[in-house]
């Protein structure tokens, strides 16, 4: 593993001492948000993790190496670079072999976090089952990864552009615990509620850490979804964003957008259609998830 993985000394020291570390993904930086907001947000998310008493470890691929934790100039480089490969499980070996640069999705970030021994990861929203998946078969590799890699992913639910009932069904099939943090309904990314019951509810970081610990002590392997609703003051009511989502989906279909491009296309169109409101909400929910992830990492480290 060694030649492929480089861990920032600060992160390595924290891991060796059993101090809390939170993994952060990089696809949200390169494909999820436009510059310069992406870099600003990435820095703010890392600060939020530190404020919560954990060490942030942004994960990406630079010059053919998996990097666990980035120096400030490296984060800036990644955020400013164009045509960065979006790297999921399937892409990891080829990008590393070619010595390339890549940003890691939820799936790939989970893989890299687990390699480094990091158990908690914060993002915006996980990928899931796309609407129309019964015809397109478009199901994010994030779901399979949650079934196999032992990392807790703190998110605001699955992205609202997806088919949330089907996403929940697949997570159940795959044996992935979905824990609502202080909520009875699955959060719907931009909105706090989805009308769908969340399978489990826990109200504190300590209780969530105990579920994680128990799952892994049982040798069940795999990850967990910790679904954390967007703060009330930042949410976009579901009815308000629904029309924009339909419009963006229709445009994606008309333009035959496929594969990896689907999610970035939809997020970018939603931002335009909502006059920037979806981006503001996305930033707010990621920061909120970073705060909770730091708390969970601290609670897990204390067990």
- Write out the residues near Mn ion by the rule CB under 5 A: 138
**Tokens standing for 260?**
């990896």
Q: Three-state DSSP class for 175?
A: coil
Per-residue mark of binding to ligand PSU, 71-110 (x: CB under 6 A):
----------------------------------xx----
Q: CB under 6 A: which stretch of 44-52, 56-64, 123-131, 192-200 binds ligand PSU? A: 123-131
Pick the binder of ligand PSU from 52, 127, 222, 223 (CB under 6 A). 127
Long-range contacts at 40-48 (CB < 8 A, ≥ 24 apart):
41/283, 41/286, 41/287, 42/75, 42/79, 43/75, 44/283, 44/287, 45/122, 45/286, 45/287, 45/290, 46/290, 48/287, 48/290, 48/291, 48/294
**Annotated catalytic residue: which of 86, 159, 215, 260?**
159
What residues between 132 and 151 interact with ligand PSU by CB under 6 A?
Answer: 140-142
What residues between 7 and 66 interact with ligand PSU by CB under 6 A?
Answer: 25, 27-28, 31-32
What residues between 173 and 212 interact with ligand PSU by CB under 6 A?
Answer: none
Dihedral sign of CA atoms 25, 26, 32, 34 in order = positive
From ligand PSU, Mn ion, none, interface partner of 271 (C-beta below 5 to 8 A by class): none
From Mn ion, ligand PSU, none, interface partner of 123 (C-beta below 5 to 8 A by class): ligand PSU
Helix H, strand E, coil C: the string for 46-71 is HHHHHHCCCEEEEEEEECCEEEECCC
Give the C-alpha separation, 162 to 184, whole Å: 20
What residues between 258 and 297 interact with ligand PSU by CB under 6 A?
Answer: 260, 263, 267, 282
Strand partners, 225: 153, 178
Of all residues in this chain, which one has the CB nearest to Mn ion in the complex?
A: 138
- Find the shortest distance in angstroms from Cβ 95 to ligand PSU: 15
Inter-residue contact 190 to 230 (CB < 8 Å): yes
Q: Which is nearer to Mn ion, 138 or 295 (CB)?
A: 138
**Tokens standing for 139?**
């199901």
- Find the shortest distance in angstroms from Cβ 149 to ligand PSU: 13
Is 134 annotated as catalytic?
no
Distance of CA 76 to the CA centre of its chain: 20
Long-range contacts at 276-279 (CB < 8 A, ≥ 24 apart):
277/236, 277/241, 278/190, 278/236, 278/241, 278/244, 279/33, 279/34, 279/37
**Annotated catalytic residue: which of 25, 145, 185, 295?**
25
Is 25 annotated as catalytic?
yes
Q: Which is nearer to ligand PSU, 115 or 206 (CB)?
A: 115
Residues at the contact surface with ligand PSU, assessed by CB under 6 A: 25, 27-28, 31-32, 105-106, 123-125, 127, 140-142, 260, 263, 267, 282
Active site residues: 25, 159
């Amino acid at each position: 593993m060694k030649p492929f993985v480089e861990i920032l000394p600060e992160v390595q020291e924290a891991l060796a001492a059993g101090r809390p570390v939170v993994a952060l993904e990089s696809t949200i930086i390169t494909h999820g948000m436009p510059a310069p907001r992406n870099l600003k947000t990435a820095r703010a998310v890392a600060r939020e993790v530190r404020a919560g008493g954990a060490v942030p470890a942004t994960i990406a691929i630079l010059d053919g190496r998996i990097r666990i934790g980035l120096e400030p100039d490296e984060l800036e480089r990644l955020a400013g670079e164009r045509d960065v490969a979006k790297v999921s499980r399937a892409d990891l070996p080829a990008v590393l072999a070619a010595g390339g640069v890549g940003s890691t999705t939820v799936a790939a970030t989970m893989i890299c976090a687990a390699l480094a021994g990091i158990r908690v990861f914060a993002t915006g929203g996980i990928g899931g089952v796309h609407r129309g998946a019964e015809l397109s078969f478009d199901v994010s590799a994030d779901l399979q990864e949650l079934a196999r890699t032992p990392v807790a992913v703190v998110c605001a639910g699955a992205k609202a552009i997806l088919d949330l009932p089907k996403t929940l069904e697949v997570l159940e099939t795959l044996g992935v615990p979905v824990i609502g943090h202080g909520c009875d309904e699955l959060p719907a990314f931009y909105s706090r509620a989805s009308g769908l019951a969340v399978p489990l509810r826990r109200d504190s970081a300590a209780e969530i850490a105990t579920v994680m610990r128990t799952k892994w002590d049982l040798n069940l392997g795999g990850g967990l979804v910790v679904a954390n609703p967007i703060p009330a003051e930042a949410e976009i009511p579901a009815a308000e964003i629904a029309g924009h989502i339909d419009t963006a989906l229709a445009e994606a279909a008309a333009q035959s957008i496929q594969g990896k491009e689907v999610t970035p296309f939809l997020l970018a169109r939603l931002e335009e259609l909502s006059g920037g409101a979806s981006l503001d909400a996305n930033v707010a929910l990621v920061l909120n998830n970073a705060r909770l992830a730091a708390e969970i990492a601290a609670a897990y480290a204390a067990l």
